[in-house]
Structure 1
Amino acid sequence: MGIKRRTFIQTSAMAAMGTLLWNCNDADKILLKKGQTIACLGDSITATPNGYVQMLQDYVDTNHPDLELTFLNWGKSSETITGLTEKEHPGPRPYLFERLDGLLKSTQVDILFFCYGINCGIYGKPSQTLFDSYTIGIYTFLEKIKQKGIKTILLTPPPVVLEAVNDDSVAVTTDFGYQHPYPKYQEEVLQEFREIVLAISHETVLGKIDIQAPLLRHKNKCYLDDPIHPNKNGHQLITNTIVENLTI
């Protein structure tokens, strides 16, 4: 993804009576209405078959079928909102803003879940330029959906759990990427991305849900030999974390 192409795209840029209340703070509840369509945007973690998106659908269908909510999985493996790609990645990473307009034209949705970040720093060192690019990506998304009258719920990016693998090359390489992440990628990049998401203020945002912190608290159960992709327990925890923010 070249800088000119990225800059061009950026700048041209559940409850009773058939309703669902979102968020656990009474003063800040969010209402989902019966029959709404909710699409979930994100990278490979969102795209995972039978992952948290399908688990949310199963939960609602089983426990609140009268709500008639539909969850669509719009995840795409390797995708970013920064338009960056590391050298070791096989080809340019997909860039959300090259497909977002087409998605929004193809299907009418009421709400978008948004979960990006783990790929957006391409597993390298932190920089202000990187944090600015991530922030610009979020606000570019928010402005685009504002034009469509769509609301969003932001999820913090999940963590990278390097303890899940024993790879000495991670500590010695300087050419970082998804196979050899910067050793402090979680602490110095993804933690900052988490703070950026939680600090976002925009009229389209219905709520923000932190999935990074609970995944880190339960990392021994949620990650096995893959530091990037949570296992089934991890996806269940993401689902539970979202559901815990529901008042029915």
Structure 2
Amino acid sequence: MTKWIILVQRTLVILLLGLTACSHHKTPNFQGPSHSISNNTKGLTKETERIVFIGDSITYSGEFVAYIEAYLRVAYPERDYQFINIGLPSETVSGLSEVGHAGGAFPRPDAKERLQRSLDELKPDLVFSCYGINDGIYLPFAQSRFAAYQNGQQNLHNTVLATGASLIHLTPPDYDKKHEQQYSQVMDTYSNWLISQTNQQGWQVIDLHFPMQQQLTRERKVNPNFYYAKDGIHPNSAGHWQMAKAVLAGLGEPMARTFSETIDRLEPKVDAETLYKLVKQQQSILKDTYLTEIGHTRPRMKVGLPLKQAHEKVKQIEREIQAVLQP
């Protein structure tokens, strides 16, 4: 019995030493959760109508947002969802910008600068926020930059909830470690912190980062040259589908391997690619219009159509969408 007690005591000491060592590691390289669903994520309610996506250039690119809307239009034809994407290239939630960004032409926009105006103008029921990939400024981990990211996320969270809207945070997409191992670990750390806020503060969080990273690892076992982002940052269409897939799974929706296969499981049977292209076209028109209407500090952006003209074009496209949805 005495030997058994000594063995247990030694085991506990080893475990405690291991935990202490981990707590002092500044850039934890966690594997992350194996799923994308936060226990606190309520999903879309019947009352949800206007859904706004905010974020950086990956959100502005918008393929994953269009995949999500296209799926929901088929899955819930009785609901009147209105999607608005106002992602802004180069933006950070931390307010940070590296020296010489864009060749010294302009600093990165700070999400806080336009956030309240965007909420006042758009009056969303639900906001999806996707920041992080720019917030480490593509440098090795630094506590000061991490703290700025945490503070920026907290400010965004409080500002959105103060309007009465719901908020779902999305972890940043995977940064391909083939391009830079250290920065990939920085994004792991940022993502793990955001996920941890589900338990610490009751935030709604859906993880895109680790599911995308894990799928990339699986794909490279078959094809070592496979990639989702040629530059390590901006996902291609396959990468955007992995993002959309993680969001929809996080909302409790059943997913298949591809977008077309996922849509084919639903009724009625529709032309998935045509629907996606039309939805993407609608979103692109509204995106540039609302970015221009609300205002921002980033130069070199496309000027959107006047609001009335944009809505007229959107209505025209909507007739085509309805023809696809009601074959």
1:226 to 231, 248, 253: 231
Residue 246 of structure 1: CA displacement? Answer: 3.1
Match of 1:121 in 2: 136
Partner SS for 2:44? strand
Equivalences, count? 204
Partner SS for 1:55? helix
CA deviations over 1:160-202 (Å, ceiling 9, x no partner): 1142x6xxxxxxxxxxxxxxxx641111x11110011111244
Match of 1:57 in 2: 69
Match of 1:71 in 2: 83
- What's the C-alpha RMSD, in Å, of the aligned pairs? 2.1
Match of 2:191 in 1: 194
Match of 2:247 in 1: 242
With over 3 angstroms needed to count, the CA separation of the structure-2 counterparts of 1:31 and 1:185, relative to structure 1, is closer
1:154 matched to 2:159? The reply is: no
Residue 218 of structure 1: CA displacement? Answer: 2.7
1:134 to 149, 155, 176: 149
Once residues 41 and 252 of structure 2 are traced to their aligned partners in structure 1, the CA distance between those partners, rounded to angstroms, is 8
Match of 2:31 in 1: none
Once residues 81 and 227 of structure 2 are traced to their aligned partners in structure 1, the CA distance between those partners, rounded to angstroms, is 27
With over 3 angstroms needed to count, the CA separation of the structure-2 counterparts of 1:28 and 1:89, relative to structure 1, is closer
Residue 24 of structure 1: CA displacement? Answer: 5.5
Gapped regions of structure 2 (runs ≥ 5): 1-35, 221-225, 254-327
Once residues 209 and 121 of structure 1 are traced to their aligned partners in structure 2, the CA distance between those partners, rounded to angstroms, is 20
Gapped regions of structure 1 (runs ≥ 5): 1-22, 166-181
1:47 to 32, 51, 60: 60
Residue 41 of structure 1: CA displacement? Answer: 0.9
Moved more, 216-225 or 37-46: 216-225
**Percent of aligned pairs sharing the same letter:** 30
Larger radius of gyration: 2
Once residues 241 and 160 of structure 1 are traced to their aligned partners in structure 2, the CA distance between those partners, rounded to angstroms, is 16
Once residues 28 and 146 of structure 1 are traced to their aligned partners in structure 2, the CA distance between those partners, rounded to angstroms, is 15
TM-score, normalized by length of structure 2?
A: 0.58
- Conserved in 1, the CA contact under 8 Å of 2:129 and 2:169? yes
